[in-house]
Amino acid sequence: MSILADKNTRVVVQGITGREGSFHTRQMMAYGTSIVAGTNPRKGGQKFDDQVPIFATVREAVEQTGANAAVAFVPPRFAPDAILESADAGIALVVCLTEYIPVLEMVKVRAYLDSTNTRLIGPNCPGLITPEQAKLGIIPGNVVMPGSVGIVSKSGTLTYEVIGALTHKGVGQSTCVGIGGDPIQGTDFIDCLRLFQADDETEQIVLMGEIGGNAEELAAAYIKEHVTKPVYAFIAGRTAPPGRRMGHAGAIVEGNVGTAESKMEALTAAGVVVVDHPDQFADVIS
C-alpha cells in the first residue's frame, strides 16, 4: 500500500515537450510510472517519443485517457494557471515542481484549491515516489526501496540523502513526499502525517523540517494528539543567522519564532526522536 500514488495512477505531464519536462518524463516512464498523456497548447495531436499522446488541454487529456494525476513542469509565470487548469479538469493530484512562483499568486491558487477536491504537492518541490510503483517528479528512483518507512520533507536534496542512507542499511520506504519549502504549500506536514497514520503498511515516519515558520510546531502538536506510529525528525538550518533566509522562501527566522531549537523542543515533547544529522536516521530506525 502507499499514499497519494501507486502503479494505477494515470499521469498527465504539463509541459511535456520542454527541456525539463522531456527529461524527467523519460525518467518517470523508465521507472514504470503510467504516463498516459502530456499537454502543450501548440502541439496537440502529436506524440511524445512516439508513445505518449499530447493534448492541447488537460481536460482533453482527462477525457481521452482517464488521467487522474498531473505533474507540472511549467515556467513560473504559467504555473499557477497550469495548477488551476488541472483542478478544473477534475485531476485529483497535482505535483508542481516549479520554483519562483510569486507568493501572492500561490495565495490565490491555494484559496481556489480549497474549494475543490484537488490535492497539490508543492510548488518548488521534488515530488513524490512510491518505490517500485510510481514516481511523480524528480526524486531519483535508484535510491529508494520498498518498505514501511514513510518520509515527508521540505528539502529535496536532504530527502535523497536520508532515503539513500536508509536504503543502504536495508530499510525500505512506503512513500517519500517532498512538500517543498515555499510559504504557501498545497500539502503540509499534517496532511502527510494523517495519510501515513492511516496507511497500514507505513510503520514508521520520518519528518524533515527546517527553520522558519511554525509548520513543525504544528506538526508536533498533531503528532502528540493523533499519531501512534514512531516518528523521527531532523531540522535543517540550525546554524542560520536570525533574520536571514536560507534556501527556501519559507526558511526565515524572526526573533525566537521559527528557530531550530523551538522546533526541536516541540517535537521532542511530542515523543518524536530528533536526530542531529540526516545520516543518523539509519542508526535509529530499524
pLDDT score at 242: 58
Nearest to residue 250, comparing CAs of 198, 201, 179, 202?
A: 179
Q: Does 157 share its domain with 258?
A: yes
Looking at the 3D structure of the chain, how many domains does it have?
2
Domain that holds residue 207: 139-284
Collapsing DSSP states into helix, strand and coil, what is residue 281?
A: helix
Q: Which CATH number belongs to the domain containing residue 174 in this structure? A: 3.40.50.261
Which residues, in sequence order, are bridge partners of residue 135? 129
Quick check: bond before 123 cis, omega within 30? yes
Q: Does 166 share its domain with 258?
A: yes
168 among known catalytic residues: no
110: left (phi over 0), alpha (psi -120 to 50) or beta: alpha
Q: Does 143 share its domain with 280?
A: yes
Q: Give the C-alpha separation, 38 to 40, whole Å.
A: 7
- Residue 155 sits at the vertex; the CA angle it makes with 267 and 263, to the nearest 5 degrees, is 20
Q: What is the pLDDT of residues 35-77, one digit of tens each?
A: 999 999 999 999 999 999 999 999 999 999 999 999 999 999 9
Nearest to residue 192, comparing CAs of 280, 266, 120?
A: 120
Q: Give the C-alpha separation, 249 to 14, whole Å.
A: 24
Buried b (16+ CB within 10 A) or exposed e, 133-170: bbbbbbbebebbeebbbbbbbbbbebbbbbbbbbbeee
Q: Give the C-alpha separation, 173 to 276, whole Å.
A: 21
Q: Give the C-alpha separation, 66 to 132, whole Å.
A: 22
Instruction: Among 121, 148, 173, give the residue marking a domain's end.
Output: 121
pLDDT score at 125: 96
The DSSP code sequence of 41-105 is TT-TT-EETTTEEEESSHHHHHHHH---EEEE---TTTHHHHHHHHHHTT-SEEEE------HHH
- Which of 24, 168, 226, 248 is catalytic? The answer is 248
Q: Does 171 share its domain with 273?
A: yes
Nearest to residue 136, comparing CAs of 121, 123, 151?
A: 121
Q: Does 239 share its domain with 198?
A: yes
Q: Does 96 share its domain with 165?
A: no
Q: Which CATH number belongs to the domain containing residue 69 in this structure? A: 3.40.50.720
Cα dihedral 66, 72, 74, 80, rounded to 10, equals 90
Residue 64 lies in a domain: yes
Q: Does 173 share its domain with 248?
A: yes
Nearest to residue 281, comparing CAs of 227, 196, 208, 177?
A: 208
Residue 154 lies in a domain: yes
Nearest to residue 176, comparing CAs of 221, 198, 146?
A: 146
| Model pTM score | 0.93
Q: Does 279 share its domain with 158?
A: yes
Residue 255 lies in a domain: yes
Residue 74 lies in a domain: yes
Instruction: Among 89, 121, 153, give the residue marking a domain's end.
Output: 121
Q: Give the C-alpha separation, 186 to 164, whole Å.
A: 26
Contact assessment for residue 58 and residue 85, using Cβ atoms and an 8 Å cutoff: yes
Q: Does 77 share its domain with 155?
A: no
Segments in the chain below pLDDT 70 = 1, 239-257
